[in-house]
A and B are shown apart, each in its own frame.
Chain A
Amino acid sequence: MATAEVAHHDHHDHHPTGLMRWVTTTNHKDIGTLYLIFAFIMFLLGGAMALVIRAELFQPGLQVVDPHFFNQMTTVHALVMVFGAIMPGMVGFANWQIPLMIGAPDMALPRLNNWSFWILPFAATLLMSSFLTGGGGPAAGWTLYAPLTIQGGMGVDLTIFAVHMLGVSSVLGAINIIVTVFNMRAPGMHFMKMPLFVWTWLITAFLLIAVMPVFAGAVTMLLTDRHFGTAFFDPAGGGDPVLFQHIFWFFGHPEVYIMILPAFGIISAIIPTFSRKPLFGYTSMVLAVAGIAFLSFIVWAHHMFTVGMPLVGEIYFMYATMLIAVPTGVKIFNWVATMWRGSMTFETPMLFGVGVVFLFTIGGLSGLMLGITPADFQYHDTYFVVAHFHYVLFSGSAMAMMGGTYYWLPKWTGHMYDEKLGKWHFWLTSIFFNIAFFPQHFLGLAGMPRRIPDYALQFTEFNVISSIGAFGLGITQLLFGYIVYKCIKGGEKATSEVWDNPEGLEWTLPSPPPYHTFETPPVVK
């Protein structure tokens, strides 16, 4: 029924062809594709920088790059991955999936949508052009801590402007998502019937609007400190560098949930399909996401236990941090309960789904270790922290996006991807990922500091292992690009359901869906 209706609208899809199609498009599917391609390019770029870091750390001593360039690599790698790969990638999923999932013909504000994407390439160019300036790119770490960023060269200014643009882009994207979810749901699509991916993105969008402006404010303060005589962070003028850390992490902690919550949404779509059971505890999942979002605002100072806070403050931030384990535990429990006694099969998306649940939990547990104030004094700024956030950001967010890509790629392209290669991609990714990052736990516990291009000899073996894993991981992602390319070009025709009786409105559409979908809203029972 729905299929026939959609087919009827098929001949309406007039749009410019060639390059101008992509520049002028206001179609949510086109913009979703643009976001995903941009995110993948940034992912490879940021990955290349990570390999420069790992090449330098392959052996003790200085071999490959000089320390200043090394610092630029750690800084820009993180900025590119956070603001260039993961956030835009998730927005790409939101663009493709939210209208399809809630039965809307498009995003609510399509022109704004075009603009929020096209800001990104310019912001990225600005960030990259900082390498061409005299002092090189930003080298103070992605957290841009003052007073180091007050002292840097022009590269820091370019970074500040890039952050402003990225902030505008994501706030506009977030506004669009909220308006779409509030106003464009098909009749009968009540809030508590929305797929969890839509829920997680709705909450993420609110987080973005709440904290991106704070970050924009923080970097603006840096800018005026650098050039316009203010002294927010410079003690010589009566400021305080620790203030920057507070403002930064007031943004920074919700920011890490901005990166992981949509991943939770993707996992919550994949696991029920391949367990052939509805998602366990839907309501508790929604409440858990809301709970995590709320808690994210009141725990920021656990990133800065060592700055010299009063004991009461440290204890408060420790307990508040521990509290996050409760809603997160609810989610992990619900995913496992969804799989429990399901007729599970392990196609590539499910492999990624289960992999994420397993590996993200490791990252969550190391996060709890870091949240314990007295222990954090030992772990702070060591490779233990690096291992922790790669377990939540790579094997959480990035691998969830890979799983989501395999899950919805047949729907988007109309072709099945190469299952055999997909499985290779999963196994190589997760094995190399663990080779690269698991030893970093040991390095951190043994005291190797992060963001240092050289290290003491006793850390050599684990660093060698880690570097080998990192290069394997990097090369494997080229395979991912090839699989997606091959799937776009052709392959076995996908049915409209693609998988075995999956839940959701997107599966009522043909694969690939026509350019315009749900112009007549579907009826949700």
Chain B
Amino acid sequence: MKADSSKANRKIVIRLLVLTVFMFGFGYALVPLYDTFCIAFGLNGKTGVTDNRTAAAKGIDETRWVTVQFTSHTAVGLPWEFKPVQKSIKVRPGQVMDAAYFAKNKTTRPIVGRATYSVAPSQAAVHFKKTECFCFTNQKLLANEEKDMPVRFVIDANLPKEIHTVTLSYSFFNAEKYLSEQEQLKLSEQVEIGAGTEKRI
């Protein structure tokens, strides 16, 4: 009787422990699941991506203009100057357009940054497609280096008619923390080269 019940207890305990471990894993599984959802619904900057040919293949909607506004933000810990080259552009839906952001490293050491971006209003996000972008990858600026960072985008013709203005917003973060040791070493070597170059000038 007693052995019986402890066997039955053990069976349930093991099942519940398996469930516990499974749910711990499920918490982690939410991470890729979330990315999938974001891409599907154009959330949190994970907007549509397309290539030049597909973008050009679709027709241009000549009946309306859409104003695209550009904003920028630099997070604490990234001593860069970062701003859009143009405040806003008027585009036709379906028209491939080039824009650029200006970035300047204000220090005398090279820094690696990483940008994310988002589109407002959120209904426009899935229709805002990039063919070229400096986001989500590491961008390096040497000491005092300045650079124009291009964005090529197309707003697809399915953009809801009531949306006349779309805002593209970029945030730049310091990504040095996420470099491997080797990469950090390489970066620090470039400090000296950068400094040397300056002297020669």
Contacts and interface: CB of A to CB of B under 8 A. Distances in A.
Interface of A: 108-109, 171, 174-175, 178-179, 182-184, 209-218, 221, 229, 231-232, 234-238, 240, 242-243, 246-247, 250-251, 308-313
Interface string B4-29: 01001100110011011101111110
B20 A171 contact: yes
Given A209-B19, A214-B26, A236 B174 contact: yes
Given A213-B21, A214-B24, A308-B43, A232 B12 contact: no
27 contacts: A109-B9, A109-B13, A175-B12, A178-B12, A183-B5, A183-B8, A209-B16, A209-B20, A212-B23, A213-B23, A214-B26, A216-B24, A217-B28, A221-B27, A221-B28, A229-B178, A232-B31, A235-B116, A235-B171, A236-B113, A237-B177, A238-B114, A240-B34, A243-B34, A246-B34, A308-B43, A313-B41
The 10 closest A-B pairs by CB, nearest first: A217-B27, A236-B173, A213-B24, A214-B27, A237-B178, A213-B23, A236-B175, A310-B41, A235-B116, A175-B16
A240 B178 contact: no
Given A214-B24, A237-B178, A182 B30 contact: no
A235 B23 contact: no
B44 A242 contact: yes
B29 to A, nearest CB: 9
Interface residues of B, number: 38
A209 B23 contact: yes
A184 B26 CA distance: 31
Contact of A183 (B9, B171, B175): B9
Interface in B111-138: 113-114, 116, 118, 122-123, 136
Contacts of B177: 229, 234, 236-237
Contact of A210 (B23, B34, B41): B23
Interface in B99-114: 113-114
Given A179-B9, A247-B30, A308-B44, A214 B178 contact: no
A240 to B, nearest CB: 6
B93 interface: no
A511 B174 CA distance: 67
Interface string B131-157: 000001000000000000000000000
A184 B4 CA distance: 12
Interface of B: 5, 8-9, 12-13, 16-17, 19-21, 23-28, 30-31, 34, 38, 41-44, 75, 113-114, 116, 118, 122-123, 136, 171, 173-175, 177-178
Contacts of B34: 240, 243, 246
Given A237-B178, A250-B30, A214 B9 contact: no
Contacts of B8: 183
B23 A179 contact: no
Contacts of B16: 174-175, 178-179, 209
Contacts of B31: 221, 232, 243, 247
A236 B114 CA distance: 5
Given A240-B34, A311-B123, A247 B27 contact: yes
A213 B34 CA distance: 18
B178 A308 contact: no
B178 A236 contact: yes
Contact of B175 (A174, A178, A209, A237): A237
Nearest to B76: A151
Nearest to B19: A209
A213 B43 contact: no
Contacts of B174: 236
B41 A216 contact: no
A311 to B, nearest CB: 7
A211 B75 CA distance: 33
A310 B122 contact: yes
Nearest to A108: B9
Nearest to B34: A243
B114 to A, nearest CB: 5
A179 B13 contact: yes
A217 B17 contact: no
A49 to B, nearest CB: 29
Contact of B44 (A175, A212, A240): A240
B110 to A, nearest CB: 16
A109 B11 CA distance: 13
B12 A179 contact: yes
Contacts of A215: 27
Nearest to B5: A183
A164 B84 CA distance: 45
Contacts of B17: 175
A280 B73 CA distance: 60
A231 B136 CA distance: 13
B24 A183 contact: no
Contacts of A214: 23-24, 26-27, 30
B23 A238 contact: no
Which has the most chain A C-beta neighbours within 10 Å: B17, B24, B25?
Answer: B24
Contact of A238 (B20, B25, B136): B136
Contacts of A311: 122-123
